[in-house]
Structure 1
């Protein structure tokens, strides 16, 4: 992979210098993201005990840099450290990422210092920086789920995948949210130094070495509504009141005293989806709530939500959320 086979790539071979990692920060940086990069890479050791990485924090204007918390950080290095960095990681800065001038305050000049083989990664909304710099054009990328629609409007030529924890295009990588930065950094350690080292770093950090699923389990799941178009409101209330019962599109149309075609058109106009798709979202949403807040067995939840069987619920739940109901419950309620 580009940037990992350069001299000093941190493989732990005899005489190899540590892989140089530069963390490029800006005013308003998220402290968790800044800290997790140092936490993961600074714990990566080769079999002979030598550290695989040297991590340095830099800024276009070194010195005191504000964070999005009530404290500042002191940044010693300027962007000259980017000249020799093998990997550059940009944490999010909520104060700047989604603004029009995301490459202002020296960021454009900083990125111009990177060599063609330098590996570069963003965490959370720092994907806006990479996209604005043209590094994600026609590339697969992700960002925090709250910023997805804004990102799509600004960068329609980026292949945005809002569900995954991170993406890897070889030289350019992106992570979805703050904690996804841990997944991304472990992924880089795994590529550079092998699974054994990455797993040991994960154990020391008390995090899973690899998380299955994506951002979907953390995204609120309401159906889009249009309060100015209440034409299907009465039918939707009835659907919710009978959510545990199987229903067909023809039965819904009969309940609304319209044709199937008319009902489908009205739902599409008002809700943005078909009646059965809307009902499925409500069932998944109710299942999520019951998995989080109740001790009901999965079989009972499946019946109460209209899935019929636990197997049926599992199939639809994985398709919508990316993980099984039991895994979801373990994440949000505990084993």
Structure 2
């Protein structure tokens, strides 16, 4: 089985956390059978010892050479987003993408991809704190400020810090399916694969009232009953709250509405069934609670940007 080569870009002041995320996520696949090995290499615009943001140094003896044969190129958070990335680096990124590599910008790494011209006309995101600067510097990008990560034509960008893990887990899901991504998430003791369209910034992410501690249990209950007709009243009753209180606390905790959350969960379940079963589109639509194949196709196209049939075909082609 051919290895999957991952090149991680290093530069002065690079985030040590982001440099470690690809190794943690892709390295965890070594415990699974029937998967290609992942080879992690580090590359840099200049050779030698490079100091990271936490004071540690990484020795990169081969410059950008590892990028030339990489299947995935990952750029961690750029330390000075107002400053253009080095020309040698942006040229190497353009070359990698042109030959078919997947190019990823974690957090403020999206600015480097923008400097390379790879975001022009493509969907992109970055850390919410730098959204105004991003729009100013890259007006030709189709900016999505509130999502965890977004993928457009092999160009992937993510929100800040921990969203880097979500982004790398999604790269695994694309190649090997939801079960593999969720298994690795469990090994890392992190939440299972989250859809990229989930909100990256929630004003009050932690429960502040005693009743809010019941929400996680309600969400798990809803996931187990997606095929049922689930209304706000149904979930509020399950949480032993009034509709008004539940709606307010649900949005505080998740960053969205009940309808948005249910739709995303149903699409995610449909993706899993498309990957792991031979059920028809109509059967899957019933199992996940959309009721009709037409409804499934409409919601699937909106969130995944493709049809269920095309998604299944593409996944199986990658898995071969």
TM over 0.5: yes
Residue among 67, 80, 100 paired with 1:117 = 100
TM-score by length of 1: 0.61
Aligned pairs (5 A) from 1:17-166: 17-45=2-30, 48=33, 51-94=36-79, 96=80, 98-100=81-83, 102-104=84-86, 106-114=88-96, 115-166=98-149
Find the structure with the greater CA-based Rg.
Answer: 1
Counterpart Cα distance in 2 of 1:112 and 1:119: 11
Residues 51, 206 of structure 1: CA spacing in aligned structure 2 closer, same or farther, 3 A cutoff? farther
Unaligned runs of 5+ in 2: 215-241, 262-320
Residues 296, 187 of structure 1: CA spacing in aligned structure 2 closer, same or farther, 3 A cutoff? closer
Counterpart Cα distance in 2 of 1:310 and 1:154: 41
Counterpart Cα distance in 1 of 2:181 and 2:194: 13
Deviates more, 1:140-149 or 1:115-124: 115-124
Instruction: Kindly indicate whether the alpha-carbon contact (under 8 Å) linking 2:166 and 2:194 is maintained by their aligned counterparts in 1.
Output: yes
Residue 210 of structure 2 corresponds to residue 210 of structure 1: no
Counterpart Cα distance in 2 of 1:298 and 1:36: 30
C-alpha displacement at 1:161, in angstroms? 1.0
C-alpha displacement at 1:112, in angstroms? 4.2
- Aligned residue number for residue 178 of structure 1: 161
Counterpart Cα distance in 2 of 1:316 and 1:204: 29
Counterpart Cα distance in 2 of 1:35 and 1:159: 29
Deviates more, 1:189-198 or 1:38-47: 38-47
Residues 202, 76 of structure 1: CA spacing in aligned structure 2 closer, same or farther, 3 A cutoff? farther
C-alpha displacement at 1:77, in angstroms? 3.2
- Aligned residue number for residue 193 of structure 1: 176
C-alpha displacement at 1:315, in angstroms? 7.2
Aligned pairs (5 A) from 1:208-247: 208-211=191-194, 213-217=198-202, 220=203
C-alpha displacement at 1:35, in angstroms? 0.3
Instruction: Kindly indicate whether the alpha-carbon contact (under 8 Å) linking 2:94 and 2:118 is maintained by their aligned counterparts in 1.
Output: no
Runs of 4+ in 1 over 6 A off after TM superposition: none
Instruction: Kindly indicate whether the alpha-carbon contact (under 8 Å) linking 1:18 and 1:52 is maintained by their aligned counterparts in 2.
Output: yes
TM-score by length of 2: 0.64
- Aligned residue number for residue 267 of structure 1: none
Residue among 285, 292, 295 paired with 2:210 = 295
CA offset digits 1:11-51 (Å, max 9, x no partner): xxxxx211111011211100000001111111114853665
Residue 236 of structure 2 corresponds to residue 310 of structure 1: no
State the Cα RMSD in Å: 2.9
- Aligned residue number for residue 294 of structure 2: none
Instruction: Kindly indicate whether the alpha-carbon contact (under 8 Å) linking 2:93 and 2:113 is maintained by their aligned counterparts in 1.
Output: no
C-alpha displacement at 1:121, in angstroms? 0.5
C-alpha displacement at 1:116, in angstroms? 3.1
Counterpart Cα distance in 2 of 1:312 and 1:322: 10
Instruction: Kindly indicate whether the alpha-carbon contact (under 8 Å) linking 2:178 and 2:193 is maintained by their aligned counterparts in 1.
Output: no
- Number of aligned positions between the proteins: 230
SS of the aligned residue for 1:54 comes to: strand
Counterpart Cα distance in 1 of 2:246 and 2:53: 44
Counterpart Cα distance in 2 of 1:125 and 1:207: 22
Instruction: Kindly indicate whether the alpha-carbon contact (under 8 Å) linking 1:57 and 1:75 is maintained by their aligned counterparts in 2.
Output: yes
Instruction: Kindly indicate whether the alpha-carbon contact (under 8 Å) linking 2:8 and 2:75 is maintained by their aligned counterparts in 1.
Output: yes
